[in-house]
Chain A
Amino acid sequence: MFKNYVITALRTIKRHKGYSFINVFGLAIGMVCCILILLWVQNELSYDRFHANSDDIHRVIKQEYTEGETQWSALTSPPLAQPLKEDFAEIIRSTRYGNWGTRVVQYQDTRVNEEKFEHADPDFFKIFSFDFIAGSPDSAFSDPHSVVLTKETAQRYFGTEDPIGKTLTVETIYDVKVTGVIQNIPENSTLQFDFLSPFALLKEFIGENNMQNWHFNSFMTFVQLAQNADEQGVNRGIADYINRLTDEEVYKLALQPFKKIHLSSHILHDFSGVGDKKYVYIFSALALFVLFIACINFMNLATARSSKRALEVGIRKVSGAKRADLVKQFFGEAIFLSFISLIFAVFLVELLLPLFNRLAGKNLDLDFTGNVSVYLGLLAITVISGILSGVYPALFLSSFQPARVLKGTLRAGARGGLFRKILVVTQFSLSVFLIIATMIIFKQLDYIRSIDMGYDREHIIHMSMVGDSNEKYETLKQELQKGLNILAVSASFALPTKNFNSPGSPDWEGRPEDKEIYMNVDFVDFDYFETLGIEVAEGRTFSKDFATDAEEAYIVNEELVRQMGMEEPLGKRFAFWEEWGTIVGVAKNFHFQSLHNKINPISFRLNPSWMRFVYVRIKPDDIPATVVFLRNTWNRIVPDYPFEYHFLDESFEGLYKAEQQMGAITNSFTVLGIFIACLGLFGLAAFMAERRTKEIGIRKVLGASVPKLMYLLSSEFTKWVLVANIIAWPVAYLVAHRWLQNFAYRTNIHIGMFLLAAALSFFIALATVSFKALKTATANPAKALRYE
């Protein structure tokens, strides 16, 4: 029996090549989307699961207050880790983790700015599972002046030489010895570093005082709980821990499960690469949409062609087939076809993976060896799409009554017409929805690019000052200013695109006792506001004409003034870190974080010894020559440090990487989805045209013109597309509205986009249908009528 089915299925496919192609190819593309997303989702969900203790690892996070809103921050202070382990029996290990900016690392004559130079405590290697190739996790950190490298980093510095025992120089003065080499860190690890040194070494950079400072919240703290520990109990215990320890109201703590960081963190100051569960859902939905569209094609074409299969159904029933036999047969056919599609899909996936990886910023591969979940996933996709696409044809076709089919009273495709309409409308609704979604994502990205951030980012180059290179800053500035194409030079502690320095609440004259403000802060050089084009609302910027500016001038932003409730801010007394000064200017609000966040209060102060970024505003012409000038000048003044430069607008774009990736992926899926829908529509149009060949022939004989016939054949589809638009619009509106809530600053949803999506869908549908319609309408009527 099975053989009989397979034979029938194969011969049906062969005999109707066009339909089979649409089915198989459409389904294959749908599967490609599903497989790619499955791989992506699998990767997202696998983050940090490779640590043997991953269930027991937690990050200690702290609560912050902003205008009565509580927010959690990933950063805690250095003295926290050690006593936690001592005071809580259930916390068996603890480590601090973090860096102090880019480090310059030297081996022999080469110096490199290293961005992934992290620090941690000796427990680190017991808590997390990073495999040592050389050295031992127990002794690697016994001396503060030691460093563990990843295999890749070790090769980068030492080539084939044995790295163990070699000495690297950090920041030109501190020698550290390589005590261990670990396997390269998997991509699905939240912790990513090239160098890991003992936290004790950080003392050299931040000072002994800050190592004990409970307010120096710049690092993360990870703990490992005992197995089966009472997590809730520990959570309650540590909530007020610092307040008890320091005997003052500081901040509250909580545990955050380590494996949840990647997808469900949403707290301040988190790792830059964290993902978002939202995108897992959005992409999964997207993939299912596309697969569903492909399955609809299958159902549609199968029912449209039902008249051709009806006879077979009738004969089989007369030959003794029960309905169940036929249901089985048609399901079997659908699943069989979806297996064929799967084979194509796998080939396509292998072909498209590099492209997808580039879009998604991942390094996925379809690994068949030993990855059971890949096989299960593929099997599931196949069976699901087989069942999904087979269910309607199976139930529909098997219901035919042989008496009517064999008598020929069943008109070709007359039945199931409504259902087919519903299916096409569904397909087009999904397509229109995807079109609108894509447009809104791109509009928002566009809006972000076009929004006035309050500072200029075109033609501004920034260079990092690592280590003690900022001691030469004054000389560097003077020399740079001599350049022909250089318009202005300044520097600051934080980048204006992403300033997350938040040392706490300021003080000011007339502050109510209990008023706290969550404030960001930056240390800048003269000309900072001028170089970056930040406007001043009131007062003035820092100026060398005022001798006291260096010591006590503050510039605050409008938001800070608003939150402090100051009427006349100029000349008012203001302080943070207990250093009192005077507000000399109010800067207009500008976006110093991504547009996901609102503009926070910020204050600026001069402090030449904290400069980390130099900004150079350049003339737009002959940029390469300017860069050469910058390089030469840099190498002359600070020869000890490598010259590295970035354009500020690039740093800006980096803030919206997730959205750009999402936009690119959604866009490709939309195109694929629409393409599949068009394939289906084409098939359906072909079928309809075929069905109406006689009618068209008669009309033509009676004198209908070709355009009239085209209209006749296309108008029905136009109606469907209209209905699809009406359904898709409100849904798209609601979803887009919710997505935009993620941005503090968002584009408006404009009716124009909906109209454009409608126009686009009409155009696509018409173009698809009219191809076949034209062929039918121009056919020779005599031929059509003779065959009937």
Chain B
Amino acid sequence: MIKMKEITKFYSSGFVKTFVLRNIDLDVKEGEFLTIMGPSGAGKSTLLHILGMLDSPSSGEYFFYDKPVHRLSERQLSDLHKNHIGFVFQSYHLIDDLTVYENLETPLLYKKVKGSERKGKIAEMLDRFNMVAKKDLFPNQLSGGQQQKVAVARAIIINPKLILADEPTGNLNTKEGTEVMDLLKELNEGGTTIIQVTHSEKNASYGRRIINLVDGWIVDK
């Protein structure tokens, strides 16, 4: 599903190049649950963003379902990612001015899903995540765990093949965190590929494979 060859990412400020990722080679098969670990500043989030096509590498090749991502236009990238990839962030990133219902609706709108179908999908999600009663609340009226559940629901509402989760439990308490991780596990068991970034050994244990990132290099433990 994913094939990365010699992916490098650096930022130049003045004459100094700061490397974030160096010669990353990575293969991910469909249905995997991969964990990326490493200390702060190791380049975990950058790698995740590149995987999610939100950022582009400075050099190297990236194939997603054999399509050369590094050579696609912005439009093609946008299509690819809005149909196949869902994101979950540490700080949820819901739109403050929209209700739970409207937040869930947003990706469907951009995917130009028809009205009736949209309603059906949102209802299904609300039901699945036990949030029907909360559909008209705004994000700041929800607890962190609830917000993250909405964020997960928003990520999977388009039926993505791949879910990218950046410290999904970082802002949550243990109970909420466990709930969210169980959710991800359940999705993975249903066939969705999941790549998560985390500091937590416990979260990492949900995954089946772990890669370690130190100073932009993949290191074997």
Contact = CB atoms under 8 A, between A and B. Distances in A.
Nearest to B50: A403
A320 B93 contact: no
Range, interface on chain A:
20 to 34
A311 B55 contact: no
Nearest to B90: A406
B50 to A, nearest CB: 8
A312 B139 CA distance: 13
B102 A4 contact: yes
Contacts of B105: 4
B29 interface: no
A7 interface: yes
Given A4-B106, A406-B89, A312 B54 contact: no
B154 A319 contact: yes
Chain A contact surface mostly: helix
Interface stretch (A8-16, A278-286, A729-737): A8-16
B110 A325 contact: yes
A407 interface: yes
B106 A319 contact: yes
A12 B106 contact: no
Contact of A316 (B55, B74, B87, B95): B95
A8 B78 contact: no
Contacts of A318: 52, 54, 87, 93
Interface string A762-779: 000000000000000000
Contacts of A314: 93
Contacts of B87: 318
Contact of B55 (A1, A15, A319, A401): A401
Given A319-B110, A320-B111, A8 B94 contact: no
Given A320-B81, A322-B78, A403-B54, A311 B106 contact: no
Contacts of A386: none
Contacts of A323: 74
B154 to A, nearest CB: 7
B107 A403 contact: no
Interface in B81-122: 81-82, 87, 89, 93-98, 102, 105-107, 109-111
Interface string B43-65: 00110010010110000000000
Interface string A1-30: 100100110011001000000000000000
Interface in A303-337: 311-312, 314-323, 325
A191 to B, nearest CB: 60
B97 A320 contact: no
B98 A320 contact: no
A19 to B, nearest CB: 14
B94 to A, nearest CB: 7
Contacts of B107: 319-320
Nearest to B110: A320
Interface string B141-178: 00000000000001000100000000000000000000
B82 A319 contact: yes
Contact of A4 (B46, B49, B109): B109
Contact of A321 (B54, B110, B158): B110
B140 to A, nearest CB: 11
B97 A316 contact: no
Interface residues of B, number: 28
B221 interface: no
B110 A7 contact: no
A407 B110 contact: no
A581 interface: no
Contact of A311 (B52, B93, B111): B93
A12 B74 CA distance: 29
B19 to A, nearest CB: 17
B75 interface: yes
Given A4-B102, A320-B78, A315 B54 contact: no
A358 B156 CA distance: 65
Interface in B21-60: 45-46, 49, 52, 54-55
Contacts of A403: 46, 49, 54-55
Contact of B97 (A15, A321, A325, A406): A15
A402 interface: yes
A401 B54 contact: yes
Contacts of A12: 97
B93 A316 contact: no
A333 to B, nearest CB: 11
B93 A8 contact: no
B54 A402 contact: yes
A317 B55 CA distance: 12
Contacts of A315: 93-95, 106
A405 to B, nearest CB: 9
A402 B78 CA distance: 12
B89 A312 contact: no
A4 B109 CA distance: 9
Nearest to A318: B87
A664 B100 CA distance: 55
B75 A322 contact: yes
A212 to B, nearest CB: 84
A317 B89 CA distance: 14
B12 to A, nearest CB: 15
Interface string B1-15: 000000000000000
Contacts of B110: 316, 319-322, 325
Contacts of B102: 4, 7
Interface string A122-149: 0000000000000000000000000000
A8 B96 CA distance: 9
Contacts of B109: 1, 4
Contacts of B98: 4, 7-8, 11
A8 B97 contact: yes
A10 B102 CA distance: 14
Contacts of A407: 45, 49
Contacts of B54: 317-318, 401-403, 406
A15 B95 CA distance: 13
A8 B93 CA distance: 16
A341 B154 CA distance: 35
Q: Which of B74, B87, B97 has the most CB of A within 10 A?
A: B97
A320 B105 CA distance: 12
Given A4-B102, A325-B110, A407-B45, A320 B82 contact: yes
A447 B93 CA distance: 65
Interface string A572-605: 0000000000000000000000000000000000
Contacts of B49: 403, 407
Q: Which of B78, B87, B110 has the most CB of A within 10 A?
A: B110
A449 B78 CA distance: 70
Nearest to A12: B97
B80 to A, nearest CB: 10
Contacts of A321: 110
Interface in A373-413: 401-403, 406-407
Contacts of A1: 109
B104 to A, nearest CB: 10
B75 A8 contact: no
Contacts of A312: 95-97
A139 B47 CA distance: 96
A15 B89 CA distance: 24
Given A8-B97, A320-B81, 13 more contacts: A4-B98, A7-B98, A12-B97, A15-B97, A311-B93, A315-B95, A319-B154, A320-B78, A320-B82, A320-B158, A322-B75, A403-B46, A406-B54
Name the 9 nearest CB pairs between A and B, nearest first.
A320-B82, A320-B110, A11-B97, A319-B107, A403-B55, A403-B54, A403-B49, A1-B109, A402-B54
Interface of A: 1, 4, 7-8, 11-12, 15, 311-312, 314-323, 325, 401-403, 406-407
Interface of B: 45-46, 49, 52, 54-55, 74-75, 78, 81-82, 87, 89, 93-98, 102, 105-107, 109-111, 154, 158
13 contacts: A4-B109, A8-B98, A11-B97, A11-B98, A315-B94, A315-B95, A318-B87, A319-B110, A320-B158, A322-B110, A403-B55, A406-B54, A407-B45
